[in-house]
Amino acid sequence: MTLPGIITRLVAVAALTAAMAGCDSLFNHLAENNLDPNSTELTLTGISAPLQIRRDDYGVPYIEADNISDLAFGMGYAMAQDRLAEMTGMNLLARGRLSEMAGAVAVDMDKYMRTLGVTAIIEQRYAALDDQLKQHLQHFSAGVNAYIEQHRDNLPLEMVISDYQPQAWQPSNTIGIFVLLNLGVGFNLHEELGFLQFAQKFGWQKAAYLAPVYPDEAIDFSEAEKLAALQLDEQALESLAQQITRLGQVEQQLKAINGQGIAASNNWAVHKSRTENQASLVANDTHLLLTHPSTWTLMAVNSPEYSGVGITLAGVPALVAGYNGDIAWGETMVMADTQDVFLEQLRDNNGVTEYLYQDQWYPVSERREVIKVKDDEDVELLVQSTRHGPLLNSALQGVSKHEMIPPGMSYDYGLALSWTAQYPDKTIESFFRLGQARNMAQVEQALNGVGFIHLNVVYGDKDNIGWQITGNYPLRKKGRGHFPSPGWSGEYDWNGSWGGEQTPRQVNPSQGWLGTGNHRTVAAGFSPTLTSSWYYPERAERIAQLLNTSKKQNFLSMQAMQADRRDIFIAKVQQRWGDEKRWADIETAMQQLDDDEQQQARFILQRMMEFNGEMRETSANAAIWGALEYSLTRAIFLDELGPDDGELWRVFMSLNGRAYSAYQDHVSGRNNAPFWDDVNTPEHQESEAEIIVRAAAEAYQHLQQRLGDDADAWQWGQLLTYHWQTNTTKMGKHMSGVKAYAVEKLAHYTDRGPYPAGGNRNTLNVAGHDLGSDYNVWNIPAMRMIVDFSQDEPLHLVVAGGQSGNPASPHYDDGIDLWLSRKNRNLPINSAEKVQRHYHQVTDIRPSSR
């Protein structure tokens, strides 16, 4: 299940579910009504010739048609079978209409999306599509709508409980899914807003240490100082902080559903000269939210004009990553900074809001939006914009008509958002052409047209490998956009965009491989600025470690790399702390502890210094390192950013998990790092060594409390866990009373886990959690793909969960054990005989004679 569309009507059945001894049986009864037979025959209007939807033992569809129009229809029908509720919810979210399905809990998100003007972006981009792609989306929509009409009386569980009747799928809705993907992989809006909150507490210079760029780059004082010169008074900062806190609450909701600003993915390709079987290898695992169903859906397709197998998003009739018989490709995020916040000076001039720009006052542009709310009154929203974009403050405007909706706020400073969505491009067409590419040159040409999504694409054929960055990047007149800019001077404005054929790329490098892990893939100081929010470098360094060997690579070595759980940051810390002088400081600091704490700290540090970094779920040393990082994060920062249930700590947790962090920067030895001192002891300035030994003792006590007294029995997976939860469950924390209770009851039916986890944020087999907060994994490899061109059927692919969004389906969760095994499975596409044997459940769809 996907979005909180079940919530409103779920309250109506809460009493019934509470009264039932086994309330899961009610949900299962409702869900089973929506299941289709494994094999059947259908007669439908909207196609010109017969087509087949075949499925394998995991429910993965293989759609075959005589022409691309009928193929698109079949893709729509099959996708609706698997994920109609998800498609519907995501479309409503993109258009700022989720409240129509979910009620008041979604109003804040709708206000935010309306403020961004996403619906206008969707329609503008759809209007600019070429006729061929419009027709493709129209036929896809016809397939979705054929399914909806056939299932009006047996809709997905979410829609039954919420009493929501889905509207006909529109061709432009696919564009909305792409816009959500862009928002999900866009940076660094959250960092800019967080920086303003940190600056209010610590001042601009100290706050900059909480947003480092990269280990070998200086703290970004130049960006911080552009705001320091503004000398905003305390009242102005307080007003901004209140607004940003409200925006942060909306962002948290969006993050739970859409993974806003999540670092995603590894990919690499090995040239045939470095492989055991003299054929290229291409691998990709995208790191996204741990959610249920998986972000990705699997699909194989075959028509004369378009064929292949891979992953896509529910609502997108094209392969996002995969293999098409000639080419394989996969993506990671560039971590691109494509969103800039501009501070605007505002004033009220006889009822007209004006903003200052180059010594003149201009009226903001305004539009009014009406948000329809299920079982509640409509919400009116006034959206205001400056030349720099919509004022995010608008998302906080409007009269509150519900306890969950924040009241309107007055302000002297606005937060305007510039976003590369303003630049037209050919992203949708280009992704479609990418799936049709038959050689390396065609791949490069297709990727040149991708402007709206900023990716590291690694690709290859049997004999070649390549890497290319995609996307349009803003050309800033001044500054790098890392922190908010004053809007009134005009000196930090954008001056168009850069990208396309100019982006970095490489084919067949002499080292024999290419790979990315959201790290800095260009030289420090590269211009124009791609981002200031690169991810931790360790995953990319581990890729290089494993590929820079004399060993010839093969499918099994690729699978082992994707399963790899060695954190190489530990070795860096061991080397630094093991320095003779530094270890002497640590020994001296330990002498200041009482006997018990000294013994505890020594035990933790000795075990940590001996640890090889293998973050296995059964490892005691992995648990020790994980607990030490937990305690060390809190020991360094909680005294100034706490309490741990406060807004500043929440923001800090968010930044730590999304980009190279202040925690890792401090521990790596940043000169003059200011947060080591404990401000609760003003009579004494703590050294780094004192904080380390204090954290080590606290880590021992933490493990003892959580896992017991027997240190040999400690296991990392007893702390770190995977929990497959629906987006409805994740939204439950934003509810109270009977609604929260009803969602909790539903979660018993829809959610899976928890399961012991291994790895951490630095391992190739990533397991991202909020370091210093809890051990709940939220960032995982949402898919794992390996293409071995030496095999007749090269593609091997799994997703983190199941194909179906229906909890009554065996394919709702049958992929979890496979994913947990860290193994892969083959999906054939080249051999008709293997295809028929593998995809053995057949639905024949014939055209209606009417």
Helix (H, G, I), strand (E, B) or coil at 377: coil
CA separation for the pair 586, 693 (Å, rounded)? 7
Q: Which amino acid is at 165?
A: Q
CA separation for the pair 347, 273 (Å, rounded)? 65
CA separation for the pair 220, 217 (Å, rounded)? 8
Is the peptide bond between 528 and the residue preceding it cis, with omega within 30 degrees of 0?
yes
Helix ranges restricted to H, 259-315: none
Q: Of 521, 312, 524, 583, nearest to 435 (Cα)?
A: 312
E-assigned strand segments in 230-277:
266-270
E-assigned strand segments in 640-758:
721-724, 752-756
Can you give 409-458 as a three-state secondary structure string? CCCCEEEEEEEHHHCCCCHHHHHHHHHHCCCHHHHHHHHHCCCCCCEEEE
Locus of tokens 């400690």: 714
Q: Are 482 and 223 in contact (CB under 8 A)?
A: yes
Q: Cα torsion at 230, 231, 233, 234 (round to 10°)?
A: 110
Q: Which amino acid is at 512?
A: G
CA separation for the pair 31, 22 (Å, rounded)? 15
Q: Could you tell me the strand order of the sheet in which 389-390 lies?
A: 365-371, 379-386, 389-390
Bridging pattern class, strands 455-460 and 40-44: unpaired
Q: How far apart are the first and last CA of the chain?
A: 36
Q: Are 342 and 487 in contact (CB under 8 A)?
A: yes
CA separation for the pair 136, 156 (Å, rounded)? 26
Helix (H, G, I), strand (E, B) or coil at 1: coil
- In which region does residue 299 sit, left (phi positive, over 0), alpha (psi from -120 to 50) or beta (all else)? beta
- Give me the DSSP letters along 574-601: HHHHTSHHHHHHHHHHHTTS-HHHHHHH
Q: Are 452 and 421 in contact (CB under 8 A)?
A: yes
Q: Of 707, 710, 676, nearest to 693 (Cα)?
A: 676
CA separation for the pair 498, 451 (Å, rounded)? 9
How many helices, marked H, and strands, marked E, lie in the chain? Answer: 28, 30
Residue 543 DSSP one-character state: H
CA separation for the pair 71, 74 (Å, rounded)? 5
**How many C-beta atoms surround the C-beta of residue 772 within 10 A?**
22
Burial of 665 (C-beta count, 10 Å sphere; 0-12/13-18/19+): buried
Is residue 265 flagged as an active site residue?
yes
CA atoms within 13 A on the CB side of 123: 4
Q: Which amino acid is at 831?
A: S
Q: Write the CA distances from 125 to 172, 316, 691, integer angstroms.
A: 8, 15, 53
CA separation for the pair 699, 719 (Å, rounded)? 13
CA separation for the pair 751, 481 (Å, rounded)? 40
CA separation for the pair 614, 254 (Å, rounded)? 33
Phi first, then psi: give them for residue 52, nearest 5 degrees. Answer: -125, 140
Q: Of 189, 295, 182, nearest to 251 (Cα)?
A: 189
Look up residue 151 and give its two tokens: 């299932």
Catalytic residue among 69, 99, 141, 265: 265
Active site residues: 265
